Amino acid sequence: MEPVRLGIIGCGVIGSVHLRYAAQNPAVQVVAVADLIPERVSAAQEQYQVPKAYGEGRELLADPDVEAVVLAMPANVRTALALDALHAGKHTLIEKPIAMNAAEVRAIIAARGDRVAACCSSRYRFLPSAKATADFIATGALGEIRVVRARAIRSAKEPPAKMPPTWRLRRVENGGGILMNWGCYDLDYLLGIMGWKLQPLQVFAQTWRVPPAYESHIAPDSDAETHFAALIRCAGGSVISFERGEYVAAAPDEAWQIIGSAGSLRLNMMAEHGKRIVFDRASTSRGVVSEVIWEGDEDNEMFHGGPVRDLAEAIREGRPPMTTLENALMIQQISDAIYESAAKGVSVALSA
């Protein structure tokens, strides 16, 4: 397969991760990088021997040698660049969250044409356990799906030596806080391993900002949520129970679970050593019978390179990427509804 000629726009923390894994991937040739900070561009070009470097992303988009691009910058400036990239005929990989709101996602879909366009919220589905889980669910062993549960709570630690980036908790830059940063991963993982068959209809939710005891842990101009909880009703009677938080005054707790009429799965979205996926099967004579359907060791090396590798293969094989724009739109519609429900104090129907 001829390598996909890739340009990476944004050489910060996540852009550098894309660069590192793209440089190791024989299906990709990084031909250009761009960043508004000159030191980042020169460092990336030198470390990975990238032939071309630009200061502005649109300069890179005008380069005819660039076949596909990765957009690794804050959400508030990404949609305009994604539209320019697609109009310029470039296949496009968009960092998460996919956009600031569902209207922006629809605009990207309208501009896509015959290009491959994907979102990085798919990362955790590149883990071996995720594929094994998806294959197991597809057998129908769980029966009719009743409850899909995701709860990930991270308690606060001592004040950080270095203040976290402001965009993580600023609505004007990121569209929101922990829901946009991490909730998109949870939704992509759970909806994805279920084959995107769940059809969310209605959302009832609440969000909370950082507790007073931990205000010193975040940037002073932060205005977005650090904790949310939502109940999402789906077609056919399924329900998604969804909670995630950081800087929470609670002990850490992480659990992903799918409960059906014939059995349930205990999951872990994150990479870990000694990981197990457990099937708890309903038995008339024995109650619940537990069986490990997958176990093994996983680490971050297994998923960070997934989105770029998937983009390149999708381009050359003429197939959809792991998370399509339509999938990302569903995630964003849920996120928009969570924010609206929390603001209004009422349940919110998802728009068609």
Averaged over 184-204, what is the pLDDT?
97
| Burial of 134 (C-beta count, 10 Å sphere; 0-12/13-18/19+) | middle
Quick one: pLDDT at residue 300? 85
| Confidence band for 143, pLDDT divided at 50, 70 and 90 | very high
Q: Answer whether residue 352 shows pLDDT above 80.
A: no
Strand-pair category, 227-234 with 200-208: antiparallel
* Ordered structural domains, the chain, with CATH: 4-123+304-323 (3.40.50.720), 124-298+332-349 (3.30.360.10)
* pLDDT tens by residue, 12-49: 989 999 999 999 999 999 999 999 999 999 999 999 99
68, 58 contact by CB (below 8 A): no
Quick one: pLDDT at residue 9? 98
Residue with tokens 């005008």: 62
Q: Answer whether residue 230 shows pLDDT above 90.
A: yes
Q: Answer whether residue 177 shows pLDDT above 70.
A: yes
| Burial of 64 (C-beta count, 10 Å sphere; 0-12/13-18/19+) | exposed
**How many alpha carbons lie under 13 Å from residue 49 in its C-beta half-sphere?**
3
3-state SS class at 271: coil
| Structure tokens belonging to residue 96 | 């998460």
How far apart (Å, rounded) are the C-alpha atoms in residues 70 and 86?
A: 12
108 DSSP β-pair partners: none
Q: Answer whether residue 301 shows pLDDT above 90.
A: no
> How much of the chain, in percent, has pLDDT values that exceed 70?
100
Q: Answer whether residue 1 shows pLDDT above 80.
A: no
